[in-house]
Structure 1
């Protein structure tokens, strides 16, 4: 029987790597993206070799109407991977209201709305999974990333609470909290700053998006059948 997963933020580094990994395992995919038409087109081309069904969905999850565009295009559903995100950087005292509102919508309100509306489809299955990509800053907090730390912390609380509510319905809910990952989100930092960052990480390097995708794959697999409500840190030992 076919299995379908929704991946939001599929044009981003982690989302694209997750799409490649899941497609290689036979998952059919709904791939959400917002503005990066070029990257999603490249990804669709890369995925053709896996002979699975791919349905791209364009929507802006930083505004309220974005969820409706996704919900209306979802039919069969076995898993959700919420990977959408950005990381506003700067002093909290300089943060504009619009930036704060967009961050809350994208990282908190949109996943709640999406998951609330798609839960009935997940509950039709014997077993379904939800994986939210949070961040180590949601666990420990970061200066100059206060709003990002706040919304990522909210995702972790949501994961823990929802997992208890839907466990008896056969839905497992978990969270992956990456550390520094080699994606476009780090492009604002200089080579010297990234080298300094790597020195802080016990394993001495950034994570690759494929390593986060591996963790998502594990959580969606039968090997994780007794894991729910957990936050899996993938951070090279940076924070323990």
Structure 2
């Protein structure tokens, strides 16, 4: 998969990692559809802006109809509500799943025929190390991201026959607006570094890109007794 000369669509391109992905794609010679629920918030010179709410199936279908030349789909849009499962608002928990799981799945289903018609191309799902662990105070996010990670593995198998690469990008905490409302005092990844690593991974046809030491640590811990990992996590404040 060559970025230069490709046509990419990025969800949630108005800020954070999505914005950096759109800008990095432009630098590498791609045509870019930058999408957001409020298209006026994008403000990136050189992109084609589309209105898109991934939780609205009508909006998703409209985006797929408008961007029939896409051969690189980047599912980046996401939310973090800081909601727990037992005592948290059920509608908010559903909103996390509607965004990360159902929204991503709707995008994949809508664009899979587009990618097939354009030679297969690639899908990038921006995931999280929280796919692999839970944290008291943000458990709805972990459940939703875990579901999205499993979705990524599943659609990779289903789309292999049409020569579509499916890459999951796993990262820890990044210096974005989502982290602004979360009690976290550790180092933050530069979203520009995440964007570069993600696109490097696509060009190398990697199925999983693990960004940062924390993500690598979490992945390595999965083979051990969970009490060893959770015993080292700080308690939620």
Q: Secondary structure at the match of 1:94?
A: coil
Displacement of 1:118 in angstroms is 1.1
Distance in structure 1 (CA, Å) of the matches to 2:118 and 2:64: 18
Displacement of 1:77 in angstroms is 1.2
Runs of 4+ in 1 over 4 A off after TM superposition: none
Contact 1:64 1:105 in 2 (8 A): no
Displacement of 1:36 in angstroms is 6.8
- TM-score normalised by L of structure 1: 0.82
From the superposition, tell whether residues 168 and 64 of structure 1 become closer, same or farther in structure 2 (CA, over 3 Å): closer
Structure 1 partner of 2:165? 172
Alignment of 1:131-150 (within 5 A): 131-150=124-143
Structure 2 partner of 1:220? 202
Displacement of 1:127 in angstroms is 4.4
> Residues 136-184 of structure 1: CA distance to partner in whole angstroms, max 9, x if unpaired?
1011222211111111111111111111222232111011111010001
Structure 1 partner of 2:179? 186
Deviates most, 54-63 or 15-24: 54-63
Q: Secondary structure at the match of 1:56?
A: strand
> Residues 22-42 of structure 1: CA distance to partner in whole angstroms, max 9, x if unpaired?
11001101111113734x12x
Structure 1 partner of 2:71? 78
- TM-score normalised by L of structure 2: 0.83
Distance in structure 2 (CA, Å) of the matches to 1:125 and 1:62: 25
Q: Secondary structure at the match of 1:5?
A: strand
From the superposition, tell whether residues 169 and 184 of structure 1 become closer, same or farther in structure 2 (CA, over 3 Å): same
Counterpart among 14, 22, 35 of residue 19 in structure 1: 22
Is 1:56–2:33 an aligned residue pair?
no
Counterpart among 9, 29, 32 of residue 32 in structure 2: 29
Q: Unaligned 5+ residue runs, structure 1?
A: 49-53, 199-204
Structure 2 partner of 1:235? 212
Contact 1:125 1:170 in 2 (8 A): no
